[in-house]
Amino acid sequence: MQLSNVREISSVLEVIGVEKRYPGVVANRDVSIQIAAGTIHAIIGENGAGKSTLMKTLYGLIKPDAGQIKVFGSEVNLKSPQDAIALGIGMVHQHFKLADNATVLENVILGSEPTRFGFVVRYEEARKKLIEIAENYGLDIDPDEPLSNLGVGERQRVEIAKVLFRGAKILILDEPTAVLVPQEVDELFANLRELVKKGLTVIFISHKLDEVLSIADDITIMRQGTTVATRKPNKTNKKELAELMVGGELPKPKAGELKVSPESILSIKSASYFRADGRQILDGVNLELHGGEIVGLAGVEGNGQSELIELIMGLIQPASGSVEVLGLDAATTLTREIRNAGVAYIPQDRQRDGLLMTAPLWENRILGHQFAEPMAKSIWVNKGAAMEDSKRVVGEFDVRTPGINVLASALSGGNQQKFIVGRELTGDPKLIVAAQPTRGVDVGAQAIIWEHLMQARSKGAGILLISADLEELFSLSDRIAVMYSGKIVSILNPAKTTPEDLGLAMTGAKSA
Amino acid sequence: MTKSRIFWGIVAPTAAIINSLFFVYIILKLRGVEPIEMFKLMVSYGFDPRNLVSEINQTVAYYMAGVAAAIGFKMLLFNIGIDGQYRMGAFFGAVVGAAVNLPPVLHVLLIILVAMLAGGAWAAIAGYLKVKRGVNEVISNIMLNFIAAAIIAFLLSPNLLGSLPEGSQNLQTKPIPSSGQMPTIKAFEGEIYSFLFIAVVVGIGYWIMLNKTVFGFNLRATGLSFRAARASGVNAPRMIFITTVLSGAIAGLVGIGTLLSDTHSYSMAFPSGYAFTGLALALLGRNHPVGIFFAAFLWSFLERSAPVLEFEGVPPEIVIVMQGTIVLSIVIAYEVVARINLRQQQRAVGSANSENQIPVAEQVKETK
């Protein structure tokens, strides 16, 4: 039986002393991993720990400078992803590479279509093969469904099917859960277990420790370009893994005393909003926020959170109801005035909404603050103040950069985020709208950002925390408001709620 | 960092020009002409004092078109409507200039103001359509160029605003009186338009506006990222509209040097094609006021020295080939430079990180 054959070889994939240098930087060194057949092997590490470099090496996108890679016991020299695919290594990318206007089947076969005479696509054969794969591995997909109808979890399954279609025996999944809600994560994990049961091997990259502990058979920790340890999940715990990842004790956010001020700084009363195509996005939202408290806003993405943020920032106007921010009517106040009144805004899409990617850091320090002193002096931009304060932000928030003249796009995502948070928390804002403040950020940076948010709270700022990270919501929030389908369906006390309850509320099930 | 930016800012266009010379070299060689001799001939003809004067005057007009295009580019707007805006500016400047009687300096200033208003107003149509109706500015501007030419041709008829001087086949506006004319500077047996100084002022003003003011910051921010600018509190659609009008106002000045120092009236003989040239120059000069100046001079120089090639049996159109390859090469060169820069910076970021990291990593080794 093929399955037992696979199991006889102890390691399907072996990495021995791999090193990758870029001029001035060692991205990977002395990386050694053994991946056993039929297992889920997690690789964890902070941003910049060298996970992506290693994955790119395994997928043939970059060539290592030293070391060996053995696939199914024999040494290989991967020159391109085609080589990797031929050897049975497949990659499921974090950002899906799918065409919206094609069907599932078309997406799956794109690029490796079975053909007649080299140009006529044999759809029937492809469909049969895909259905076979789907049944065999328990993937719930319909070949003829247009991709545009699919949700995130289903799209991910299509990506997995795509890799399997190409005959992959080893699947690399790059942070597959980053985009999923808890229920979708469970489905994914069920799929992955099914895959390994059938003899495939899964390499799972993540920095979410809970998930890794629950799904992996082996966990390899990377730090600063090298592999520092491998653990079995039943012989380790979250604390040890986190410490191995950051190389020391993890700072904990100090909750501090709750001192809620009596006056409301954000008051949303039965606010509704319709999109241009007439679809109702917000439906009678009510929300009060006082100074000195953190209100978490939970919900599956696309349930109106983005629009609610835009309402608060005065970027869009409600169709009915009212939004009052620091005593200003957000419907009639310009965004710049709302900001000047003391509202800090950490947008959820930092690269598109929070930064000028091709401008230097010091100019990005001005962004959002160009309408008030000290970044502006009457009609002039105050370059000196911007340069000086950028240096302060870089120092205080541990932004890893050689200087403030580098372009924002040159920084890693986590460092971009630290810079934005540092910029927005400047000048003691009264209301902080923080959307996904630690998305894609490593454990160390997350701790820094959480600590600063907590500090702002104890200084009396009110914080609206929009997050998809349940751990974040539970660690920071004083109250959690749950949004579903444009409504706030419940307000929970994090001390008396379980993540499962919250997950249920987020999917619209009735909750306590 | 700024030093290397200036370095690359000079290397890229130089490489593009060399590349284009190389290309033209091959073409000339294939025609059996000695390319080096041709280049020498062009240089000596182009730097002849009399030609130099007309090159400078042409440079001023091109410079305005280049700056107008650059303002648009900063907002990712492709102002192909410079042609129409320039015509509107020159025509209404001429009409109003001829109709009023004012003290000398004031008269000139009024004409300049009218030209900017006319150019800006014409551009405002495209701006409005873009912001309010989502019409691509390239389409609307191309249409507006035709419409501007047609309107002016109509208004130039003798019973309206035009006249046909005796012995002339060329319809034109009534002449501007001497109080509304700008003096010329005698140099190299020629006359340089004093409008040159206005061009210098526009260049400096453009630079200060863009780099020193909040308005300029908002303009650049909107161009770099519409969404980020909007989230930062900029009224981004309004910004797009204002920028369009501003670009059109500068475009309105393209023909004013010729109008005030030379012809003193607008006629159908005013040349066309400033839009494409302006866009090419802004690209070549990288939207920088000094860069655009050199680009504008290079263009005038090439065009002026082209006819000399005809004496040697080489079609002067070879200059157009040269201009075309320069533009094509520059686009590639800047893209390459941008990538080199980003890679250098990422490397710098990377090494800054690994400097921080190495001590920690060594500790790990010891504890293992």
Which chain A residues have a beta carbon less than 8 Å from that of B350? 22, 24-25, 27
Span A77-83, average pLDDT: 88
Span A98-121, average pLDDT: 84
Burial A454-464 (b: 16+ CB within 10 A, else e): bebbeebbbbb
Where does the pLDDT of residue A512 fall: very low under 50, low under 70, confident under 90, or very high at 90 and above? very low
Span A453-473, average pLDDT: 89
- Which two tokens mark A113? 């279509």
DSSP output for A27-90: EEEEEEEEEETT-EEEEE--TTSSHHHHHHHHTTSS--SEEEEEETTEE----SHHHHHHTTEE
pLDDT one-digit tens code per residue, A141-173: 888 888 888 877 888 889 999 999 998 999 999
Q: Report strand pairing: A328-329 vs A320-325.
A: antiparallel
Give A304's DSSP letter: S
The beta-carbon neighbor of B228 closest among A313, A353, A371 is: A353
Q: In a mutagenesis test of the A interface, which of B4, B232, B334, B345 is the best target, namely the one with the most A β-carbons within 10 Å?
A: B232
**Measured distance CA(B225)–CA(A363) in Å, rounded:** 13
Query: A30 near A19, Cβ under 8 Å?
Result: yes
Where does the pLDDT of residue A263 fall: very low under 50, low under 70, confident under 90, or very high at 90 and above? confident
CB contact under 8 A, A403 and B227: no
The beta-carbon neighbor of A25 closest among B224, B231, B354 is: B354
Is the model's pLDDT at A7 over the cut of 70?
no
Residue B357, by phi and psi: left (phi above 0), alpha (psi -120 to 50) or beta?
alpha
**Measured distance CA(A123)–CA(B348) in Å, rounded:** 50
1.10.10, 1.10.490, 1.10.1200, 1.10.3470: CATH of B34-312: 1.10.3470
Where does the pLDDT of residue B300 fall: very low under 50, low under 70, confident under 90, or very high at 90 and above? very high
- Which two tokens mark A34? 């053994």
Span A389-394, average pLDDT: 94
Residue with tokens 């209404």: B92
CB contact under 8 A, A22 and B235: no
Domain limits, chain B: 34-312
Rounded to whole angstroms, what are the CA distances from B265 to A265, A491, B91? 64, 75, 8
CB of B220 within 8 Å of any CB in chain A?
yes
Q: Name the residue type at position B266.
A: Y
Rounded to whole angstroms, what are the CA distances from A273 to A276, A331, B91? 10, 12, 49
Q: Looking at the predicted complex, does its ipTM rise above 0.85?
A: no
- Residue by residue, what is the 3-state secondary structure of A147-158? HHHCCHHHHHHH
Residue B170, by phi and psi: left (phi above 0), alpha (psi -120 to 50) or beta?
beta
**Measured distance CA(B298)–CA(B16) in Å, rounded:** 13
The beta-carbon neighbor of A367 closest among B212, B221, B368 is: B221
Is the model's pLDDT at B359 over the cut of 50?
no
Where does the pLDDT of residue B240 fall: very low under 50, low under 70, confident under 90, or very high at 90 and above? very high
> By three-state DSSP, how is residue A494 classified?
helix
What distance in Å separates residue B214's CA from the closest CA in chain A? 5
- Which two tokens mark B1? 């960092």
Which chain B residues have a beta carbon less than 8 Å from that of A342? none
pLDDT at A510: 52
DSSP output for A115-143: EETTTEE-HHHHHHHHHHHHHHTT----T
Q: In a mutagenesis test of the A interface, which of B354, B358, B360, B365 is the best target, namely the one with the most A β-carbons within 10 Å?
A: B354
Nearest to A476 by CA among A421, A511, A434, A445: A434
CB contact under 8 A, A401 and B352: yes
CB contact under 8 A, A334 and B354: no
pLDDT at A509: 63
- Which two tokens mark B296? 């504008």
Q: CA nearest A28 in B: which residue?
A: B354
Query: A45 near A245, Cβ under 8 Å?
Result: yes
| Maximum CA extent, chain B | 100
CB of B237 within 8 Å of any CB in chain A?
no
Which chain B residues have a beta carbon less than 8 Å from that of A228? 364, 368
Q: In a mutagenesis test of the B interface, which of A243, A332, A345, A370 is the best target, namely the one with the most B β-carbons within 10 Å?
A: A370
CB of B209 within 8 Å of any CB in chain A?
no
Span A164-186, average pLDDT: 85
Which chain B residues have a beta carbon less than 8 Å from that of A20? none
Rounded to whole angstroms, what are the CA distances from B215 to A116, A239, A452, B146, B239? 61, 50, 32, 32, 9
Give A396's DSSP letter: H
The beta-carbon neighbor of B228 closest among A338, A354, A406 is: A354
pLDDT one-digit tens code per residue, A37-69: 899 999 988 766 788 888 889 998 888 888 989
Burial B225-238 (b: 16+ CB within 10 A, else e): bbbbbbbbbbbbee
Span A175-197, average pLDDT: 84
Span A384-404, average pLDDT: 90
CA atoms within 13 A on the CB side of A387: 5
Q: Name the residue type at position B59.
A: T
Which chain B residues have a beta carbon less than 8 Å from that of A366? 217
Nearest to B111 by CA among B292, B299, B255, B311: B255
Span B295-319, average pLDDT: 87
Where does the pLDDT of residue A300 fall: very low under 50, low under 70, confident under 90, or very high at 90 and above? confident
For each of the domains in chain A, give its residue range(s) and CATH number, in order of start.
2-246 (3.40.50.300), 264-506 (3.40.50.300)
Q: Is the dihedral of CA A108, A114, A118, A119 positive or negative?
A: negative
Span A295-307, average pLDDT: 87
pLDDT at B2: 59
> By three-state DSSP, how is residue A499 classified?
helix
**Measured distance CA(B294)–CA(B281) in Å, rounded:** 9
Query: A470 near A298, Cβ under 8 Å?
Result: yes
Where does the pLDDT of residue B354 fall: very low under 50, low under 70, confident under 90, or very high at 90 and above? low
Query: B261 near B184, Cβ under 8 Å?
Result: yes
DSSP output for B126-145: HHHHHHHH---HHHHHHHHH
**Measured distance CA(B155)–CA(B368) in Å, rounded:** 88
Which chain A residues have a beta carbon less than 8 Å from that of B346? 410
Q: CA nearest B228 in A: which residue?
A: A353
Rounded to whole angstroms, what are the CA distances from A11 to A6, A8, A35, B68? 9, 9, 5, 65
**Measured distance CA(A225)–CA(A12) in Å, rounded:** 23
Alpha helix ranges (H) inside B48-172? 49-74, 82-99, 104-133, 137-155
Q: CA nearest A243 in B: which residue?
A: B364
- Which two tokens mark B363? 């500790």
Where does the pLDDT of residue A224 fall: very low under 50, low under 70, confident under 90, or very high at 90 and above? confident
The beta-carbon neighbor of B232 closest among A226, A247, A370 is: A370
Is the model's pLDDT at B14 over the cut of 90?
no
Residue with tokens 């001390």: A495
Size of interface A-B (CB pairs under 8 A): 135
- Which two tokens mark B344? 């250098």
